[in-house]
Amino acid sequence: MNTEHDGVRPGISRRTLLARTGAAAAALAVGPVIGGIQPAMAASWRVPGEDAPHKRTWMAWPSSSTIWGSLLSKIQADIAKLAKEVAKYEPVIMCADGSSAASQARAACGSTVTVISSIPVSDCWMRDTGPLFRVDGAGGLDSFGLNFNAWGENATTFYGLPYSAYSKDRVLAGRVAAYSGVGFSKSSVVGEGGGIEYDGDGTLMATESCWLNSNRNPGKSRSQVEAELLARFGATKMIWLPGVTGYDVTDGHIDGTARYIKPGVVMVQLAGDVRPDVWTANAQAMYNVLSNATDARGRRLQVLTIEGPDTLPRIPSGKRADFLSSYMNWTVTNSAIITTQFGDTAKDAAAKAAISAAYGRPVVQLNLDNLYGNGGGGAHCVTMQEPNR
> Distances from the Cα of 110 to the Cαs of 83, 88, 105, 114, 374, in angstroms?
9, 12, 8, 9, 24
Beta strands 237-241; 203-207: pairing state: parallel
Q: Is the dihedral of CA 292, 293, 298, 299 positive or negative?
A: negative
8 Å CB contact between 41 and 234: yes
Report d(CA 117, CA 125) in Å as an integer.
17
Amino acid at the residue 305: T
Q: Is 288 in a helix, a strand, or coil? A: helix
Q: What is the CA radius of gyration of the chain?
A: 19
* H-helix or E-strand spanning residue 176: helix 172-180
Helix, strand, coil percentages (3-state) for the chain, rounded to 5, are 35, 20, 45
The whole-angstrom distance between residue 114's C-alpha and the CA centroid of its chain comes to 22
Burial of residue 277 (CB within 10 Å: 0-12, 13-18, 19+) is: exposed
Known catalytic residue at 95 = no
Give me the catalytic one of 109, 124, 210, 381. 381
The full DSSP string for 12-79 is --TT-S---PPPP-PPPP-S--BTTB-----TT-BPPPTTSPEEEEEEE----HHHHGGGHHHHHHHH
H or E stretch covering 57 = strand 54-60
CA 105 to chain centre: 22
Alpha carbons 316 and 136: distance in angstroms, whole number: 49
Residue 210, H or E segment: helix 208-211
Q: Tell me the C-alpha distance between 187 and 227, whole Å.
A: 11
Residue 7 amino acid letter: G
Using CA atoms, how far residue 304 sits from 163, 274, 328, in Å, is 40, 21, 12
Q: Which residues are catalytic?
A: 381
